[in-house]
Amino acid sequence: MRLPQSPERASEPIKTTLGRSGAGRRVGDLVDSQSKRRAEDLLDSIFKVATELVRGERASLLLREDNSTDFVIARALGLADDVKRQVRVKTGEGVVGLVAQSKRPLLVRNVASAPIQSGEGSYRSDSFVSVPIVVDDEPRGVLSITDRFDGRPFDEADLVTLELLAGHIGAVLVQQEHGEALQRLAETDPLTWLFNRRHFDRRLEAETNRALRAEHLLALLMLDIDRFKQYNDRYGHAVGDQVLTAVAAALRQAVRVYDVPTRYGGDEFAVILPDADTAYPPLDRDRDLPTSRWRRGFAR
């Protein structure tokens, strides 16, 4: 087993690596394209380049699940579909879990020397390499490759290659998260934190198409606040905003987790209710909840 070298000692493996099969150019192309391509496409490309550069015939990219410490397979080569679906690794468990926990790469020339055995016993070669994907000092994934096509053990140049590409995978994950956060902000009403009209229009089209394909019912609930303009004029916009946020909170509480509560505009709200055959109880609650709670405060 070899631990990673210092940057100074790793200079020769880096030169060797970047000289292989135009590796430097290919990594450079990935960097240039990183801001122009979808995150999922970039992950596909980086994973493919990784397996080709180190000449591995079996590989996996495991990423940490959201709100979990478990890792699941996001990309794989040479693994059966049922294996890909079933694999779930906890931090500190097995080779992948150890690499994730330690946040240090592992280069094994002979599996007999590995600190933890895989337990599968089905590898054709005695060597493998695993590198962590670390973002803000947090393990986010592990890239592992084994079964080198020529049967030779992986070397330090392979390790450096995968560490380099793991860094790009980490950057893609950050890009993906930022993009998702921006998307959420762009489709969220800043006052009520319900979805906004932009998200509503997109989801209504998608849910309509899904309902037609599946022959399911789809319901749309539209509502507004009685005499809201009079209330707003009398007590001021700040108090009016409090009413809007309170109605939004009540609406969010009343609907199901997969419904789409939206601030449609002004004092108007809308809810998309997929699978509407089970939506009628929430419809009754939505009709009564806001009125019963704030009736006394409205100007008459």
pLDDT (tens digit per residue) in 225-237: 988 999 889 999 9
Given a contact cutoff of 8 angstroms between Cβ atoms, the answer to whether 225 and 243 are in contact is yes
Asked if the model's pLDDT at residue 213 lies above 70, the reply is yes
Closest by CA position to 166, among listed 291, 5, 53:
53
All domains of the chain, ordered by start, with CATH? 11-186 (3.30.450.40), 197-297 (3.30.70.270)
Mean pLDDT of 51-67: 92
Strand 70-77 to 56-64 pairing: antiparallel
Q: Is 0.85 topped by the overall pTM?
A: no
**The pLDDT of residue 7 is above 80:** no
Backbone angles phi, psi at 56, to 5 degrees: -95, 145
C-beta atoms surrounding 173 within 10 Å: 19
- What is the model's pLDDT at position 84? 82
Location of structure tokens 């122009």: 36
- 112 pLDDT band (50/70/90 cuts)? low
Per the listing, tokens 């007590």 go with 235
Residue with the larger pLDDT of the pair 203 and 36: 203
pLDDT in tens, 255-276: 998 899 999 999 999 999 998 7
* pLDDT confidence tier of residue 85, bands split at 50, 70 and 90: confident
